[in-house]
Structure 1
Amino acid sequence: MSILKTTNLTKRFGKFTALDGVNIEVNEGEVYGFIGPNGAGKSTTIRVLLGILKATEGTAEIFGKDAWSDAVEIHKRLAYVPGDVNLWPNLTGGEVIDLFVKLRGGNNKNRREELIKKFDLDPTKKCRTYSKGNRQKVALVAAFSSDADLYILDEPTSGLDPLMEQVFQECVIEAKQAGKSVLLSSHILSEVERLCDQVGIIRQGKIIETGSLAEMRHLTRTNLLVETKQPIISIHELKGVHDVVQKDKAISFQVDTEELDTVMKHVTQFGVVKLESAPPTLEDLFMRHYEDNDSDVRRGS
């Protein structure tokens, strides 16, 4: 069942088109990874979903309601964590958490205490004394303490150390297991890879690729390091082979995943002594989508 859906979502600021026909769908019990560089349109999309900005064209629906006109109803079932949290300086962290939880009608003290302990947060300190990481912790504890059906998380772990990132990931997995839905905008590709069922890559306001990680693997390359008894001939000429580098007696190269079978048949003729294979990562996928764009930028076009 679809919890969040945008159809041909477009947002213009004067002559500048920030979002150009964005289509996203997040289903019940699903974690959707929303990735792209700064300025690609992630935060603009999220502001439209939160009812802060009105779309120029297209629709954005959450729980089957319009994100702009039904924002108040939607927010009763939604928890949001921005990438840079601003808090009331004279309230303590604990008071802010209580305020947010009460706004959503929740009152689970045990959950609140458990999360404060997990995130290693001192809730008695005034918010003005908190570091960026501690401000993020306050927002995350408040979000996961409330019984929301949808979590919209926009770069939620910025400022957190690796240990706290792990705690965050556990919270997302728990929410998913409880049938909740999550829209996760992130720069941390390992985080997306670990947590997300579906991934959408946005560039210059357009979704350029979307699907499950398994479906998107065909766009990635496997990294191979091969040592053979005889030198491998004609490896450069094979379809799908890239970045061939001689390393002592071995050669390293990348292979388009769909050409792996053909390449391996060719390589084994030369007597394989050693073979190392590194699986394709989301980072490889991400970089391949951007490498053409980056070369255009370097050429000054």
Structure 2
Amino acid sequence: MSLLTISNLTKKFGNFTALDGLNMEVEKGEIYGFIGPNGAGKSTTIRVLLGMLKATSGRAQIFGKDVWKNAVDIHRKISYVPGDVKLWPNLTGGEVIDMFVRLHGGRADHRRSELMERFDFDPSKKCRTYSKGNRQKVALIAAFCVHAELYILDEPTSGLDPLMESVFQDCVQELKQEGKSILLSSHILSEVEKLCDRVGIIRQGSMIESGTLEELRHLRGTNLSVETREPATFLEQMEGVHDIKKNGHTLSLQVDQEAMEQVMKQLSSLGIISLESRPPTLEDLFMRHYHHKEKLQSGGGS
């Protein structure tokens, strides 16, 4: 069942179109990764979902309710973490966390202390003394203290060190085990790859690809690194072969699934000395989409 649904969503600022017919669904109990470069429309989408911006056209619903008309009701069951956290400078971190939890209708309990310990956070200091990473911890601890049905996380690990990123990932996995739903907007592709059940790639306000990681990898193929006795001079002409890099008789290339058998036959005829393969990463998928689109816009082939 879809907890969050976006249909043909458009948002214009004057003559600029920030969102252009965007479609997206987040199912109950899943972690959905929302990726794209700065300016792609991720934060605009999230502001529409939070009822902070009114869409120009299209539909956005959470829990079956319109996000603009029913923002107050929706907010009772969601928890949000922004990527750039602003805090009251004269309050302590602990005071801010308690206030956020009370505003959501809850109260601080043992979960607060547990999260502070896990995130190695000192709640007694004034917020004006906090680094960006510590300000982010305030928002994360407050968000995870709240008993919500949907967590909307917009670049949530911005400013965190790798150890704290790992703690964050553990917390998200625990929420999923509790049946919660998470919309995770991130530019850290390894984080999305590790956590998310499905991924949507946004470009210039439109969803250019979405699906499970396995579905996206099926479209992408496999990365090969191969050393042959004889030089390979034919690969550039083969269909389904991309991003060829040569270093003597050693090649790195990306091969679509349907072309793999023919490519391997040709490489075998040259005498394979060593061969290494790996599945594509989310970054491979991401860059492939963008490079392909840029070639088309510049008049080049695919």
Would you call these one fold, judging by a TM-score over 0.5? yes
SS at match of 1:239: coil
The residue type paired with residue 178 of structure 1 is E
1:111 aligns with 2:143: no
Indicate the residue corresponding to 1:19 in structure 2: 19
* Residues 245 and 20 of structure 1: CA distance in aligned 2, closer, same or farther (over 3 Å): closer
1:9 aligns with 2:12: no
Distance 2:132 2:252 in 1: 42
Q: Kindly state the Cα deviation for residue 58 of structure 1 after the two structures are TM-superposed.
A: 1.0
Q: Kindly state the Cα deviation for residue 235 of structure 1 after the two structures are TM-superposed.
A: 2.8
Q: Kindly state the Cα deviation for residue 293 of structure 1 after the two structures are TM-superposed.
A: 4.4
Contact 2:19/2:205 (8 A) holds in 1 = yes
Q: Kindly state the Cα deviation for residue 102 of structure 1 after the two structures are TM-superposed.
A: 1.7
* Residues 245 and 203 of structure 1: CA distance in aligned 2, closer, same or farther (over 3 Å): closer
Q: Kindly state the Cα deviation for residue 255 of structure 1 after the two structures are TM-superposed.
A: 1.4
Cα-to-partner distance string for 1:178-235 (whole Å, 9 max, x where unaligned):
1000011100000111111111111111111111111111332422121234444523
Cα-to-partner distance string for 1:249-294 (whole Å, 9 max, x where unaligned):
4222221233222211222233322111132011011101111445
Cα-to-partner distance string for 1:114-164 (whole Å, 9 max, x where unaligned):
110111110001111111110000000000111111000111111111111
Gaps of 5+ in 2: none
* Residues 243 and 2 of structure 1: CA distance in aligned 2, closer, same or farther (over 3 Å): closer
Indicate the residue corresponding to 2:68 in structure 1: 68
Distance 2:39 2:70 in 1: 27
Counting only pairs closer than 5 Å after superposition, residues 8-157 of structure 1 correspond to structure 2 as: 8-157=8-157
SS at match of 2:207: strand
User: What is the root-mean-square deviation in Å for CA atoms of aligned residues?
Assistant: 1.8
SS at match of 2:217: helix
Contact 1:8/1:57 (8 A) holds in 2 = yes
Q: Kindly state the Cα deviation for residue 106 of structure 1 after the two structures are TM-superposed.
A: 2.5
* Residues 258 and 118 of structure 1: CA distance in aligned 2, closer, same or farther (over 3 Å): farther
Gaps of 5+ in 1: none
Bigger mean CA deviation after superposition, 255-264 or 179-188: 255-264
Find runs of 4+ consecutive structure 1 residues off by over 6 angstroms.
none
Indicate the residue corresponding to 2:222 in structure 1: 222
Contact 1:221/1:284 (8 A) holds in 2 = no
Indicate the residue corresponding to 2:177 in structure 1: 177
Contact 1:121/1:134 (8 A) holds in 2 = yes
Equivalent pairs, count:
299
* Residues 19 and 246 of structure 1: CA distance in aligned 2, closer, same or farther (over 3 Å): closer
Task: Indicate the percent of aligned positions where both proteins have the same amino acid.
Answer: 66
The residue type paired with residue 59 of structure 1 is R
Distance 2:162 2:251 in 1: 34
TM-score (norm 2): 0.93
Bigger mean CA deviation after superposition, 288-297 or 151-160: 288-297
Contact 2:150/2:180 (8 A) holds in 1 = yes
